[in-house]
Amino acid sequence: MKHAVFAEFLGTGFLLVAVVGSGIMAQTLAEGNLALALLANAIATGCMLYCIITLFGSVSGAHFNPIVSLAFALRGEMPIARACVFIGAQIFGAIAGVILTHAMFDQNLFQLSQTARSGGPLWVSEIFASFGLLVIVFGGLAQNSKAIAAMVALYITGAYWFTASTSFANPAVSIARALSDTFAGIYPAHVPMFIVCQLIGMVLALLAVRAVFGRATHG
């Protein structure tokens, strides 16, 4: 258990280093070209996801996302207590990753984002992004579990571009990004609605997965 919990903490921390660190670097080097900055941010995040899912998958299942752990619990494939511990590790890991990234880029360690991310289009985007992620995860487990790392990495890389919200799709990521006033940040007051939308997407995904794949998945 302790190995799995630490893997979730460490993996989620790595993920936020990729998200926030590449955002800072991209904003610095892209000279105002937001498309180029977003492309760099998306590619770095996708690369990190592939690595950490491949590396930690056999240890913890490589959730790195509270809605993934909660979905497994709701499907009866993970004890609620274990899911709660995983979620705590993910949130603290994400925050630790943000603080470490600030240290690497010589920024104030503790920040609050001023980047507004609110409104109907972004909320719909977060519902869809979370829905799609969970369908990929559980559908992938049903069809080809060895391809999960590549599928999730490719999905999130693409979702940076085909969703208005740039696809947070992760409550731990949403919370941690509120603590970084950088390219990847989100105004703290806008985080709760993002999380509500992510949970809605999770519920819809569980219904869709059951309709399409039945119970033919495993964690």
Total-model pTM? 0.94
**CA nearest to 74, candidates 212, 213, 204:** 204
- Dist. CA 57–CA 72, nearest whole Å: 14
The per-residue pLDDT string of the chain (219 residues; one tens digit each, 9 = 90 and over) reads 889 999 999 999 999 999 999 999 999 999 889 999 999 999 999 999 999 999 999 999 999 999 999 999 999 999 999 999 999 999 999 999 999 999 999 999 999 999 999 999 999 999 999 999 999 999 999 999 999 999 999 999 999 999 999 999 999 999 999 999 999 999 999 999 999 999 999 999 999 999 998 865 554
CA distance readout (Å), 69 to 80, 84, 158, 184:
9, 8, 23, 24
